Structure 1
Amino acid sequence: MSDDVVITGYGVLTAFGFGADAVRSGVFGGGDRFRPIERFDTARFRTDRAAVYSGDGVPGVTISPLETPAQAPVLRACVVAALEMAGHDGSGAPLLLGSAGDRRADPSFWQTPGTEPPLDSLPGQLAHRIGADLGLGTPRLAYVNACIASTTAIITGAQLVRGGHARAAVCAGVHMVSADIFAKFDSGQAMSTDGAVRPFSLGRTGLLHGDGAAALVLESAASAAQRGATVLGRLTGWGMAADGHHVVRPHPDGAGLAAAARAALRMAGREPSSVDYVNAHGTGTAFNDSAETRGLREVFGPGVTVSSTKSTTGHLLEATGAVEAVITLLALADGVLPPTMGYLEPDPECDVDCVPNASRVANIRVAVSLNAAFGGANAALVLERAS
């Protein structure tokens, strides 16, 4: 291991808009962007709502409310913003991406014999073409392991930097709400039936999807110092664990999340008692939230403060880890905990302080961001304030 890993830039999109100010006003302000979907027909689904973005707030991109947006231009805008913030030209920096690919072409591919999907529909091509277009280095890799995909990208980039294989890495994730993925979650009856996401609350009925993308520039501390770059935060630990409990249900005791969190804390050299805040996976489903609570209490005890920002952004699937890492960075920098919105009343199985319904001022120095995925995959990041 050659050096500490720091974060020197990011770009982010949520349903609230592009950039950090949109996150501050929307996520930290407790906004609600769950709206009826116009970009595809929802008549056959149990719900018609998601947190979707439309408008011209993304540099170089106009997103129509009536069309599923292409992933490539949104992702490119986030990478460009991250590099500009970092003051880095991207040369030599690998691009690691979490994405299931651009889903817009899927219906025509399956319905029209002989058609070929455009290259941008393939996750690996998204990484390769954006990396080549912006003059980034190699490897250019895409991860498709569902809701820990962009967390995996961040962990891979951190390993490359800390191991001395790259001075900097660009790690990103993207998901734009699409009909086919929406249909799969709807058929599994995972979606909220009351138009809101209520993590850790009694009366929660499920998750809702959201548009999201983010890119982060990870860099060695030595490289950042040499360039005179501003350090926005430090990535001091990471961990992954697979519990293999069930194809879609989490381990009932949150064993995988707990193992990932412990591994990340060991790498960071931190005791659980030193963690001031956890950005929880918090999907708002009955199975996830109770299982995650047990895992949180197993690692951190009863006193840890958590919140779920999916209550405002929606579930961002492959983009989740990257966007929530940016949110956690802002919490550390601003000294404000994002709220868990939609909270109705306590659930005895979710007895954690989840910052219900309003943000909270707090002096936090160490935070953990947790993500979980189908198949028992789990990941954790330890993020620390820059100074």
Structure 2
Amino acid sequence: MGIELCERGSQVRGVHAVDLIGTAVDAGLIRGPTTLEVLTLHEVVVTGYGVFTAFGFGAQALRARVFSGEPAFAKVRRFDPSRYRAQYAAEYQDKALSQLTVLRECVREALSSAGQDGAGAPVLLGTDGDHAANIDFWTVHAAGKQPEGAGVVHSLPGLLPEVIGEEFRLGRPRLAFVNACVAATNAIAYGAHLISIGKAHSVVCGGAYLVNEDVFAKFDSGLALTTEAVMRPFSMGRKGLLHGDGAAVLVMESAEHARRRNAVSYGSVLGWGLAADAHHPVQPHPQGRGLATAAQIALRRAGVAAEAIGYVNSHGTGTPRNDLAESLALRHVFGDRASTVPVSSTKSTTGHMLEATGAVEAVITLLALAEGLLPPTAGFLEADPECLVDCIPHTARPSQVSRALSLNAAFGGANAALVLGAPQSS
């Protein structure tokens, strides 16, 4: 249990209540004495998850390759990449998949591992819709034919949580988070917030992304993709990122609700932080200010000192600017410890899964905490003197860690962080 203060009778009851009131008082927006009340905040635990990557469905397929540092990159098969600079991605072998298909399977696995049916649970998913369906629709339209309406309907981001909610008889709200590479992290953060303030006893949340030509072309034209079949986060010679298929769904509950039904906990969501740096439409702030702020908010909300963090699952895209900005953000958060805190980029094996990446990486981080094994950064060549982080090159590292930080950043200056805790021994 934790407590948080907010102004009695006001609308300021969100997770930033203390910060908002303090800022308002400092700015002179609130004058005179204020009456505060204590809100009881509920501990948030993860009781189930389902995951999908280019390695296949299920946590075991993910664990086997990520923790051995074996990337999934190969020449793109889902479309003809010959017109583009980049040629590689981490794709699942089945070309006919849709976001809805993989989300169904992940929700099914998550609910099964949680031992519950999700009745009444809000559905919060990071997605920007089905790009393949959208492309098919407009290709048919451009040929002068009459396309089926389902193509456009399936391309609408808000449809996926609604369809999933109906099929699995879940609760409301049913929300799509569309802010790119922090979408799933935002979904997890909002779900944890709903549970912490007692608005929900359980939440189904996560995200999905499948490699598609629409997004691939945009990243390629922006020179964000590497032309190599390997990512090299934090390394000298890094040239960019590669996309990857991915989806993950987590079932989160209040600890009290989980205990009442004797549910197994796979770990806890201790804190979350969101921040915007508003520096550039696509480039991160050069000092990583927004990401550092998100991490500090998450740590403060968790009541965890930076010194207690034993592992960081970084955003680690392998682009020159992003990795430099992230390493500076870590320096701002950890100070002199920044070069010794174990940090890895698991995108070096899975690829960048955009709207799904925060959820998949949360699962990876929970696995690392539960198993006492930190996943490596694949593709590493040699240390970049400007990115002085201990990036666990090539080989997983045994380490009993109880607290970890998972970081994500996105276009538009969006940043998100989660503080995750190891499962408590019974």
Using the size of structure 2 for normalisation, the TM-score is 0.87
Instruction: Please give the residue correspondences for 1:158-177 in structure 2 after superposition, counting only pairs within 5 Å.
Output: 158-177=192-211
**1:103 aligned partner:** 131
Instruction: Please give the residue correspondences for 1:267-282 in structure 2 after superposition, counting only pairs within 5 Å.
Output: 267-282=301-316
Aligned letter for 2:344?
A: S
* d(CA) in 2 for partners of 1:231, 1:33: 30
Q: Work out whether 1:70 is the aligned partner of 2:104.
A: no
1:157 to partner: Cα distance = 0.6
- Contact 1:79/1:172 (8 A) holds in 2: no
Q: Work out whether 1:150 is the aligned partner of 2:184.
A: yes
Partner deviation per Cα, 1:145-202 (whole Å, 9 max, x = no partner): 0000000100111111111011000001000000110000000011112211000000
- Contact 2:241/2:351 (8 A) holds in 1: yes
Q: Work out whether 1:367 is the aligned partner of 2:401.
A: no
Partner deviation per Cα, 1:250-309 (whole Å, 9 max, x = no partner): 001110000000000000001100000000000000000011000001101233211000
Q: Work out whether 1:204 is the aligned partner of 2:241.
A: no
- Contact 2:88/2:227 (8 A) holds in 1: no
**2:254 aligned partner:** 220
* d(CA) in 2 for partners of 1:157, 1:120: 24
* Residue 366 (structure 2) aligned to one of 309, 313, 329: 329
What SS is found at the alignment partner of 2:225? Answer: coil
- Contact 1:248/1:376 (8 A) holds in 2: yes
Partner deviation per Cα, 1:83-130 (whole Å, 9 max, x = no partner): 000001110001000001111122233330663334222111111011
Aligned letter for 1:88?
A: Q
Aligned letter for 1:267?
A: R
* Residue 91 (structure 2) aligned to one of 42, 48, 52: 52
What SS is found at the alignment partner of 1:225? Answer: helix
Larger Rg: 2
Instruction: Please give the residue correspondences for 1:1-387 in structure 2 after superposition, counting only pairs within 5 Å.
Output: 1-54=40-93, 63-64=94-95, 67=96, 69-111=97-139, 112=141, 115=147, 116=149, 117-301=151-335, 302=338, 303-387=340-424
How many residues of Structure 1 are paired with residues of Structure 2 in the alignment? 376
- Contact 2:346/2:377 (8 A) holds in 1: yes
* d(CA) in 1 for partners of 2:226, 2:408: 19
What SS is found at the alignment partner of 1:81? Answer: helix
- Contact 1:245/1:251 (8 A) holds in 2: yes
What SS is found at the alignment partner of 1:382? Answer: strand
* d(CA) in 2 for partners of 1:169, 1:268: 19
* d(CA) in 2 for partners of 1:5, 1:166: 11
- Contact 1:86/1:217 (8 A) holds in 2: yes
5+ long unaligned stretches in structure 2? 1-39
What SS is found at the alignment partner of 2:124? Answer: strand
What SS is found at the alignment partner of 1:7? Answer: strand
Q: Give the superposed CA RMSD.
A: 1.0
- Contact 1:238/1:380 (8 A) holds in 2: yes
* d(CA) in 1 for partners of 2:348, 2:41: 38
Aligned letter for 1:134?
A: F
What SS is found at the alignment partner of 1:100? Answer: coil
- Contact 2:134/2:152 (8 A) holds in 1: no
% of aligned pairs identical? 57
What SS is found at the alignment partner of 1:349? Answer: coil
Partner deviation per Cα, 1:294-348 (whole Å, 9 max, x = no partner): 0001101233211000000000000010000000000000000000000001101
* d(CA) in 1 for partners of 2:133, 2:422: 41
* d(CA) in 2 for partners of 1:279, 1:6: 19
* d(CA) in 2 for partners of 1:10, 1:256: 29
- Contact 2:233/2:316 (8 A) holds in 1: yes
* d(CA) in 1 for partners of 2:152, 2:108: 23
- Contact 1:242/1:378 (8 A) holds in 2: yes
Using the size of structure 1 for normalisation, the TM-score is 0.95
1:207 to partner: Cα distance = 0.1
**2:9 aligned partner:** none
